[in-house]
Amino acid sequence: MQFDITDQSPKISVERFLELSSETLQLSILAGSAGLKDRKISSSRIQKLGLALAGFAHYIHEGRIQIVGQSEIAYLNQLEIEKRHEALRNLDLDKICCILVTKGLKPPRELLEIAEDRSLPVIQTADVSSLAINEVTKFLGEILAPRVTIHGVLMGLYGVGVLMLGDSGIGKSECALDLISRGHRLISDDSVLIKKIGGSLEGSSPELTREHLEIRGLGILNIRDLFGISAVGKCKKIELIIEFVKWEDAGEIDRVGLEISKHEVFGVRVKKFKLPVSVGRNLSTLVETAVRVFLINLSGGNAARDLIEKHSELLTKDENAK
């Protein structure tokens, strides 16, 4: 059973953006603070106001930060005052969520006046445009990423982020504990926050349960206290999924290891192994081995394929000998 994950793209107000970015980006507000709450940023991509100032405003996207750099300011400054007013009036200011002035430049007075009048936030950074664009895009990419929190355990094994799925009570947390005692890292137990960033999935723990693990009979454990700082991690790119299934529910199992199954989250496909669970199967050794198989496959090795090739050669040799 699986819920439909809605691909809701979050939106944030300019005010929230300034709050969240206060440490990383150091932005200050120049005008239009009345619009901080109502104006919303909905895309991590930015735009340069550029041609829109020259009258070609068709491509202004709502919800994107508009960058005003040296060229925009120089363009406005060389216009006569009347033309400057006209250029600004021609912009559809209700469609713009906020303007970011780069390089610590001083924008023309007319821009600040019209922004103040229309409650359009104008913010400023000391960074040059290219750097500011990089930083803002990266930052917004993270906070606007589509996200979902699901039931599962996320661990880091040999540098690979491994998401373990399976019904409650099947032994995910016990397996995680075993893996931790073998020196692997816990990212999150029971509840994993997955964000789609660029083309990959980043997993982390909800703040509340970070570094905690629940084991039936022992209760909630603090893994950092019990095993130390190297036993926990904050986030990890999810590269491999392991699904535990009860033996009787396992259905057809690939006995050779040539079939590759994939699991899709937000359109990102991740390699998946389905591991039937039963008494006497050591799950943590199986998970460790699955990651080794994943790593060797990445570097081109494939035991199943090699063995089958050898086998076919053997058969043709026999055939020729006859």
Partner 1 sequence: MVEKKITVINRLGLHARAAAQLVRLAAGFQSKIIVRRCDTNVFADAKSILSVLTLAAAKGTELMLAIDGTDESGAMAAVEQLFLSGFGEM
- Could you please report the per-residue DSSP string of 260-315? -EEEEETTEEEEEEEEEE-TT--HHHHHHHHHHHHHHHHTT--HHHHHHHHHHHHH
1 near partner 1, rule: CB under 8 A:
yes
The answer to whether residue 272 is catalytic is no
Burial class (CB in 10 A: 0-12, 13-18, 19+), 229: exposed
Identify which of 227, 224, 228 has the alpha carbon closest to the alpha carbon of residue 205.
224
Closest distance to partner 1 from the beta carbon of 1 (Å):
4
Nearer to partner 1, 127 or 189 (CB): 189
Piece of 18-26, 184-192, 247-255, 257-265 that binds partner 1 (CB under 8 A): 184-192
Among 58, 59, 168, 217, binds partner 1 (CB under 8 A): 168
Cβ(34)–Cβ(98) under 8 Å?
A: no
Kindly state the helix (H) or strand (E) to which residue 88 belongs, with its residue range. helix 81-89
Which of 37, 109, 151, 262 is the catalytic position? Answer: 151
Which of 39, 190, 236, 263 is the catalytic position? Answer: 190
Distance (Å) of CA 45 to CA 24, 41, 53, 62, 213: 18, 10, 19, 11, 37
> What part of residues 108-127 is at the interface with partner 1 (CB under 8 A)?
none
Binding mask 6-35 for partner 1 (x = CB under 8 A): x-x---------------------------
Closest distance to partner 1 from the beta carbon of 281 (Å):
22
Distance (Å) of CA 289 to CA 166, 179, 286, 304: 18, 12, 5, 14
Nearer to partner 1, 45 or 147 (CB): 147
- Could you please report the per-residue DSSP string of 26-55? --EEEE-GGGTTT-EE--S--EE-HHHHTT
59 near partner 1, rule: CB under 8 A:
no
Nearer to partner 1, 5 or 258 (CB): 5
Coil, strand, or helix at residue 92?
coil
**Distance separating alpha carbons of residues 14 and 94, to the nearest angstrom:** 14
Nearer to partner 1, 190 or 243 (CB): 190
The answer to whether residue 37 is catalytic is no
> What part of residues 137-156 is at the interface with partner 1 (CB under 8 A)?
146-151
The answer to whether residue 190 is catalytic is yes
* Site size toward partner 1, by CB under 8 A: 24
> What part of residues 186-215 is at the interface with partner 1 (CB under 8 A)?
189-191, 206, 208-209, 212-214
Nearer to partner 1, 67 or 223 (CB): 223
The answer to whether residue 58 is catalytic is no
Nearer to partner 1, 5 or 81 (CB): 5
Q: How far is CA 39 from the centre of its chain?
A: 24
Q: How far is CA 195 from the centre of its chain?
A: 4
Active site positions, annotated: 151, 172, 190, 255
Binding site for partner 1 (CB under 8 A): 1, 3, 5-6, 8, 146-151, 167-169, 189-191, 206, 208-209, 212-214, 220
